Structure 1
Amino acid sequence: MPVAAWEQFLQDQNSWPAASRTTRQAVVRDTTSGTTFEKRKRMSPEERHLQIMQAAVKVIASKGFWGMSLQDIADEIGITEAALYHYIRSKNELLNMVLAEGYDTPEADEYNASTATVTDFDGHFCYCFPRYCINVVLYNLQRPEMVQLFSMLNGEALNPAHPAHRFFIGRHLRNWEQIGSMNWILPPGYDEERLYHLYTLSMSAMDGLQYRWLADHSVNLLEEWMAFSEEIFPENVWKGFRDPSEYDPASGQCLQEFTLAAREL
């Protein structure tokens, strides 16, 4: 049985971008049909930088890094390729900019963690991992083009010659450094190794589900992830640890005892 507080998210699909909503047709999801070109007489360097990055996200998401050219980027924003070289020196530099600024951002980290936080009666700040995972899905529903970009590059970067190969090979452990340092409340029996396996399982399942979602417009990403959650975080084990709404401040219960930090003392 899903967490009651999560049902509201399914009822709020009108706020999702059109590319994230579902249809009855099993067709490929179109996440890159919007236009990046904005005709203006003059743009500040910061505005042009953002426009170039947005164009790169769109083009790479649809063509991949190997299939795109700097001429594609120039065409997307309505300038010449020669003019583009005033702002970017190479395809590799453009890719590095997209990876550094586009996907694993501080804004994404803050969104994913903020509403997964529960403060107990004693003022301890703790996190609910199942809610964190729901937040990742909710955030990605607001940026379908970035999900397609990530999926495209993740597949391409299996090739060791790809300039993003090292980024994607190391990404899982880089993210684990952050996840492993957070003060999660966990059911009895979880240690750091088991949490790492849970994190790996959850993120791998999410990546696979996102591929299905991109390939089939009839798939509801959030609905499917909630079904996954019932398998990964079964109620009989995880109830009370899934969402901040499950904690009753009037109980006076201290949650710190359910964290890894407390178990390692």
Structure 2
Amino acid sequence: MSTLTVVCWNFENNGKGDPARRAAGADLLRRLAPDIALRQELWDADAHGHTIFNEQTRALGLQGVLGAESCTAVFYNPAKLSVVRGWTQGRGPHFVLPPTALTLRYEDAGPDSLPFNAVSYHLNYASAEQRLLEAEWLTTWADKGWTMPDATRATLPAILAGDNNSYPTGSWGDLPLPDLALVKNEPHRLHRSYAGPSGERLPDNRPDTAFRTAGLEDAALYWATAPHGDPSALSRTVNASDTHGPDSRVDRAYLTPELLPALTGFEVIEVDEDVSDHHLLRLTFDGDLLSNVLAHSTSA
């Protein structure tokens, strides 16, 4: 059975200046053998002619596009995927940390199949209002039209994943929203909350609400509640701390609904804190089902 593996990881590419830490992160990614890697915080990867970035693409055996200011990147397997459009000039002006977005064709689905968008993003850490604005702009990648070979128009499916610096809305089995009074770091308490109608500060889950209002599905929640899914998909992606509050699921992946039938697995892979302060998401798609989805979308 053919598969397509997607990982999302907020891992500082420079390892906070520690080459051993950077090497450990690259080794973990290499062992997971992703077909698409949606990365955040690749600081310094553009220095000296993209030396670090090029080193990592070689180590992973992938090709990739590094976004503006080394904030985000998309790596992809050229044996399975080809780029049919990049969105460097089409991301909108409203991101503090610019996302990276590619329109990819899954080669097994055929040359006339519908491509899909793959987007790596990192929402602003300090402002709930800025995060909401950025989330709203990100939903435009779930609304991109595409002209098919027969001149009909279709909407591109989309995979969006990244660091949301905010909380999920909260549903069955999900981690509870934090009690802000127990978040000891006062700036962080501000950064992770917004003012409600009465002025009371509330845990910020508005980006999640925006994505879901736009029709995108939280892939972890979908898999946790699927008949053959696994509730552990809702595991923490950032560990609790005395200053910043409880375990949280700030790293999330969102899918347009037509991709959900092809999803056959979702895991949170815990990473040693000596390597990264974020855990890693891995999504697995059945390649045959994905091909059928893209072919069916074409005919539709």
Q: Is the pair's TM-score, using the shorter chain for normalization, greater than 0.5? A: no
Which structure has greater helix proportion?
Answer: 1
Larger gyration radius, structure 1 or structure 2: 1
TM-score normalized with structure 1 length: 0.31
| Structure with larger RCO (C-alpha < 8 A, sep 6+) | 1
TM-score normalized with structure 2 length: 0.28
Which structure has greater strand proportion?
Answer: 2
